[in-house]
Amino acid sequence: EVELVESGGGLVQPGGSLRLSCAASGFIFSSYAMGWVRQAPGKGLEWVSAISGRDGSTYYANSVKGRFTISRDNSKNTLFLQMNSLMAEDTALYYCARDIGREVDTGAMGVWGKGTTVTVSS
Amino acid sequence: QSALTQPVSVSGSPGQSITISCTGSSRDVGSYNLVSWYQHHPGKAPKLMIYEGTKRPSGVSNRFSGSRSGNTASLTVSGLQAEDEADYYCCSYAGSHTYVFGTGTKVTVL
């Protein structure tokens, strides 16, 4: 069964850091682009970042560029999101998602995890 | 990276058809036929319903269909059922290996 399980969320103070993980199973992880999508309380979905399955190239939304870093460990079938300089506006449910293709150019994510909650507050 | 515009809410009676619009720009929807649609029930993972504008993933009911005209994409749900009540989001490739989501639409089955 294809599955994505996020972990690493929690409560962090403004300016702090957090590292999210996403464990993948049931498919050839290295063959797909992967990404993170978040949903702030009461708000809609927001694309955050993605990483190519072909060459590991990384891409970011303007709102997180320079603060967040996406990476992947294909040997451990795991996706990561290192979040630094966190702000209250980063408070959200963070979903890990598998793209339908190997590159970040399809506009579609076919498999989603259930999410992990990040709360930025003092 | 401005969010695509969707109506806040759409409603219909069981058996009816509804259409949700998703308006972007020439930088995203208008330039790429790479719009996807997601059904999101609160507390659950979003589900891909349409990709590449018109294609349905395996297992998705043929009551769901997608289209595009200019800078606007649309999702039509025919034969509306109680289980279709959910939030729906469009998403488009926006160039430079980035994606942009729509503002979301709450569908209510009357």
Q: What is the pLDDT of residues A66-86, one digit of tens each?
A: 999 999 999 999 999 999 999
Q: How far A80 CA lies from chain B's nearest CA (Å)?
A: 18
Give yes or no for B54 touching A (CB within 8 A): no
Supply the pLDDT for residue A41.
Answer: 96
Question: Average pLDDT of B58-77?
Answer: 97
Chain B partners within 8 Å of A103 (Cβ): 97
Burial B13-29 (b: 16+ CB within 10 A, else e): eeeeebebbbbbbebbb
Q: Is the pLDDT of residue A116 over 90?
A: yes
CB contact under 8 A, B51 and A100: yes
**Phi-psi sector, A85: left (phi>0), alpha (psi -120 to 50), beta:** left
Task: Calculate the CA dihedral of residues B91, B92, B98, B103 and round it to 10 degrees.
Answer: -40
At A10-22, the pLDDT tens digits run 999 999 999 999 9
Residue B1's pLDDT band, with cuts at 50, 70 and 90, is confident
Average pLDDT over residues B89-105: 96
Tell me whether A107 touches chain B (CB under 8 Å).
Answer: yes
Rounded to the nearest angstrom, the minimum Cα separation between A22 and chain B is: 14
Q: Which of A28, A104, A34 is nearest to A72 (CA)?
A: A34
What average pLDDT does range B62-71 have in this prediction?
97
> How buried is B70 (Cβ within 10 angstroms: 0-12 exposed, 13-18 middle, 19+ buried)?
exposed
Tell me the pLDDT tens digit for each residue of B7-21. 999 999 999 999 999
Give pLDDT, residue B81. Answer: 97
Residue A57: C-alpha distances to residues A24, A71, A85, A112, B98 (Å) = 19, 9, 22, 21, 12
- Tell me what pLDDT residue B29 has: 95
Supply the pLDDT for residue B31. Answer: 94
